Amino acid sequence: MINNLSFVKNLFRTYLSGESNWTFYSFSGNEIDLDPEKNFGLYLHVPFCKTMCLYCPYYKVYFRQELAEKYINAVIDEIKMYAPLLRTAKLTTLYIGGGTPTLIIDGLMKITGIIRRTLGFDGPIGIETTPADINEEKIAMLMDMGVKYLSIGVQSFHNRFLQCMGRDYESEKAIKAVEIASKYKFDTLNIDMIFAFPGEGLKELKKDMEIAVKLSPDQITCYPLFTFPYSTIGRFLKLRRLRLPPINVRRKMYYFLHDFLEAYGYRRTSVWSFTRYSKIPYSSVTRDYYVGFGPGAGSYTGERFYFNTFSIEEYVKALEKRLPIALEMKVSKKLEKLFWLYWRLYETVIPIERYSVMFGSNIYKDFGFLLNLIKFLGFVKSADKDKIVLNKYGCHWIHLLQNYFALDYVSKIWSVCQKNPWPEKVKL
């Protein structure tokens, strides 16, 4: 059965992308294939944590001051290596993720200063952190750094779910952290929430959302509990120590979130996010093209995907000679278009004219079968010559497809790269 599903998936993606060989190979060049006329977002991966959350799949290590100092110096070297390539590019945003980036707040002040001076960056900065690492002093430093978008990984206001994930704070601390951040004038304050915990029902989810809307953040992003096989919680599930709610309950939770948050004045701005009508939606992932700094960071130029080595030690060592890229995958023009469409489906709105401007072709000519299929299946709220907008049913199905396709690819790449810092290839 699994082999049959994989065959269908591979057939479907080949039809849509025109590519049958989705494989990352060992990086063999000296610099990335980058068109300086494009707009690029910047990403900085900070892989340090004080505790390891059971569900988190991203590259991370326990915080040690001496290792953090090596990381900071190496990141600065990497940024300087990119300076000649990015000198004429339009740099739109900087997103700082992790890990827990605010653990090296002084280092971040130094790194962002280098980014501004060396790359000529003057756009907005977004950063993520946890309630355990928020206080008045750090929030003030983020404001001084020029952070416009702050995302706090609350995840839940139920202590038993926080304990289940290995979080090192209780709900009172999470509430206090959001209250502190709310006093400052960020353009958008987002809180991340998780649903579909083992043993969770609609009653517990409703309580979480009631507390969330009472705190009144600008944006609430709700993810299901992802279970990557190589994460700690993935191993627990494999051992059958934890059981997620059945799929019909998770579907009801997804629909509940949509209806509840819309009733409280939020509009859906992605498959996962709901934003106040007066605020700018903010996402850590929806950039057309981006360049990543730090171990485990990815870059996407439209022509290629790249991933840096998933090892701080190897990252530091590589930067003595060259860029620390471990893997690359060539991207065809059809795949570039498909990738753009994927993220517009993630945002739940497909702007027709923007596609024409970017690619010089008609989106219905390139992907008419797919677009007509989602209309036929009842996934579309409205469609005209300007845009296609998904309804909540369509959003639910897109999130399921995201789990089956994108998260499966993430799982394959991450699992290989965390075992081997310089893999020969990763076949998706």
Q: Which residues of the chain have pLDDT under 50?
A: 1-2, 230-240
> pLDDT by residue (tens digit) across 226-265?
655 544 444 444 434 556 677 888 899 999 999 999 999 9
What is d(CA 327, CA 270) in angstroms, rounded to the nearest whole number?
29
Position 340 scores a pLDDT of 95
Q: Bridge partners of 380? A: 390
Position 233 scores a pLDDT of 41
What is d(CA 401, CA 373) in angstroms, rounded to the nearest whole number?
14
Name all domains of the chain by residue range, CATH numbers in brackets: 20-124+282-331 (no CATH), 136-186+188-281 (3.30.750.200), 334-402 (1.10.10)
Cα-based distances in Å from 186 to 145, 150, 174, 218, 282: 12, 7, 18, 9, 12
Position 9 scores a pLDDT of 65
Cα-based distances in Å from 99 to 28, 33, 46, 225: 28, 28, 6, 17
Position 238 scores a pLDDT of 45
- Is the bond into 99 cis (omega within 30 degrees of 0)? yes
Burial 217-246 (b: 16+ CB within 10 A, else e): bbbbbbbbbbbbeebebbebbeeeebebbe
Position 399 scores a pLDDT of 84
> pLDDT by residue (tens digit) across 138-176?
999 999 999 999 999 999 999 999 988 778 889 999 999
What is the length of the chain?
428
Position 231 scores a pLDDT of 46
Coil, helix or strand at residue 224: strand
